């Protein structure tokens, strides 16, 4: 099979972890007789430095013409520390989501038996956790009108949702729930926010189309608590953009490291696969970043974008083997030997 994949390394540790994912994907291609055509493209701070635009038109064309996009990370301290910056790397991410129609972010959270004691939560609270967030990505407060008035003394950000935006995200949530334990939780703040009331009434109206799915409705603050208390009580959760941004980062540490969790952003055109961690600028160039989230994102890509389940399982199995045998970076090594980012990638590719 010929696979055309756009490669967006991005900023910070992005290029380093992407390099390891490419090694593993190439090993899978050899093992299963596939041909991968990688097309690199600029985005984020690297793109701003090169052409003044965080998501250039050329990059967009490469993404549109690809079968899938494998993405590293975006962000740079020089923009984080400058509130007056007119162009920011993160604007490229928002623009990419909008232009590619990536309206649903799929964020799984699960535990690894060999790492369960690395979690900040007690073993008995997290054993068996296997949940998935579907976060709406192209609406809400991140894309609403924003600005200043009163000579800059007052700021505003508008949160806007349409029923159609809620329906298309909820549809994916119901469909995913049907393939799992048939439980769906809609996360909102319907006791306060009008947009949340629209979310709740829209999802309620869809329940009859999926009679086998048990639907619950919970306020976002309650879910934030229960993710710490009983994360294994959840299965599929759907929510709006801002709530999803915060809750998925909270959920990610359940596994013991943000460097372990993959994600996918799906929608109308090409799907994008990326680790959930950021650009981690402090580790840039040090060869210490954990590449496993990016490699597991590649596994999601093989399974979801190409329907290649054997290939995806091969990656997941070798990642589990690396965790059991302690072939891990410093964030997971504890008192044992810490391997370099590149060494982990080499070991995984060899074992594939």
Q: Which of 204, 236, 254 is the last residue of a domain?
A: 254
Look-up: residue for tokens 């600028």? Answer: 281
Do 201 and 78 fall within a single domain?
A: no
Helix runs in the chain, H state only: 14-32, 45-51, 57-64, 77-80, 89-100, 123-126, 163-178, 194-206, 220-229, 241-252, 292-300, 309-325, 330-333, 341-351
Q: Which residues contact 179 (CB under 8 A, 6 or more apart)?
A: none
Binding residues for Mg(2+): 221, 245, 249
How many CB atoms neighbour CB 316 within 10 A? Answer: 17
At 66, list the tokens: 């690809």
Interior/surface letters 174-195, b for 16+ CB within 10 angstroms, e for the rest: bebbeeeebbbbbbbbbeebeb
Do residue 81 and residue 187 come from a single domain? Answer: no
Number of other residues whose CB lies within 10 A of the CB of residue 147: 10
**Locus of tokens 């162009």:** 87
Residues 142, 81: one domain? no
Q: Check whether residue 106 and residue 6 sit in a common domain.
A: yes
> Which of 211, 236, 254 is at the close of a domain?
254
Helix H or strand E segment including 149: strand 146-149
- Token duo for residue 208: 């009859």
Q: List residues forming the annotated binding site for substrate.
A: 97, 107, 135, 221
**Residue 292, domain CATH:** 3.40.718.10
**pLDDT by residue for the chain (352 residues), tens digit each?**
999 999 999 999 999 999 999 999 999 999 999 999 999 999 999 999 999 999 999 999 999 999 999 999 998 888 877 777 788 888 888 899 989 999 999 999 999 988 888 899 999 999 999 999 999 999 999 999 999 999 999 999 999 999 999 999 999 999 999 999 999 999 999 999 999 999 999 999 999 999 999 999 999 999 999 999 999 999 999 999 999 999 999 998 898 877 799 999 998 778 999 999 889 999 999 999 999 999 999 999 999 999 999 999 999 999 999 999 999 999 998 889 999 999 999 999 999 9
**pLDDT recorded at residue 77:** 86
Query: Quick one: 155 and 271 in the same domain?
Result: no
Same structural domain for residues 285 and 222?
Answer: no
Q: In which element (H, E) is residue 39 found? A: strand 35-40
DSSP one-letter string for 193-217: -HHHHHHHHHHHHHGGG-TTSEEEE
Q: What angle do CA 53, 59, 61 make, to 5 degrees?
A: 130
6 CB neighbour count, 10 Å cutoff: 25
The tally of CA atoms less than 13 A away on the side-chain side of residue 304 is 21
Q: Are residues 183 and 291 in the same domain?
A: no
Q: Quote the number of domains for the chain.
A: 2
Do 249 and 125 belong to one domain? yes
Task: Domain of residue 13: give its range.
Answer: 1-110+258-352
For residues 324 and 239, membership in a common domain is answered with no
Query: Which active-site residues does the annotation give?
Result: 142, 189, 221, 245, 249
Amino acid 86: pLDDT = 82
Q: Which helix (H) or strand (E) holds 116?
A: none
Q: How much is the pLDDT for 201? A: 98
């Amino acid at each position: 099979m010929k696979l055309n994949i756009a490669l967006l390394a991005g900023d910070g540790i992005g290029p380093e972890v992407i390099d390891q994912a490419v090694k593993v994907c190439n090993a899978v291609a050899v093992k299963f007789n596939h041909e991968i055509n990688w097309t690199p493209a600029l985005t984020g701070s690297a793109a701003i430095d090169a052409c003044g635009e965080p998501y250039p038109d050329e990059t967009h064309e490469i993404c549109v013409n690809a079968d899938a996009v494998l993405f590293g990370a975006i962000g740079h301290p020089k923009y984080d520390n400058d509130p007056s910056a007119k162009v920011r790397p993160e604007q490229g991410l928002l623009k990419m989501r909008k232009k590619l129609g990536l309206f649903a972010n799929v964020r799984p959270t699960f535990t690894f038996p060999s790492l369960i004691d690395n979690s900040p939560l007690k073993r008995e609270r997290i054993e068996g956790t296997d949940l998935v967030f579907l976060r709406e990505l192209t609406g809400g407060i991140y894309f609403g009108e924003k600005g200043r008035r009163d000579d800059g003394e007052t700021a505003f950000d508008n949160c806007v949702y349409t029923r159609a935006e809620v329906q298309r995200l909820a549809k994916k949530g119901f469909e995913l729930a049907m393939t799992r334990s048939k439980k769906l939780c809609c996360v909102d703040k319907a006791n306060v926010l009008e947009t949340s009331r629209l979310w709740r009434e829209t999802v309620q109206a869809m329940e009859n189309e999926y009679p086998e799915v048990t639907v619950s409705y919970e306020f976002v603050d309650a879910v934030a608590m229960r993710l710490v208390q009983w994360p294994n009580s959840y299965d599929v959760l759907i929510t709006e953009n801002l709530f999803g941004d915060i809750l998925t980062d909270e959920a990610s540490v359940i596994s013991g490291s943000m460097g372990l969790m993959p994600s996918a952003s799906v929608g109308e055109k090409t799907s994008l696969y990326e680790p959930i961690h950021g650009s981690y600028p402090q580790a840039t160039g040090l060869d210490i970043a954990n590449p496993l989230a990016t490699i597991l994102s590649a596994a999601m890509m093989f399974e979801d974008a190409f329907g290649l389940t054997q290939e995806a399982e091969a990656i997941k199995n070798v990642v589990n083997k690396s965790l059991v045998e302690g072939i891990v970076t410093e964030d997971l090594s504890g008192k044992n030997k810490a391997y370099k980012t590149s060494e982990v990638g080499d070991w995984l590719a060899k074992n594939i």
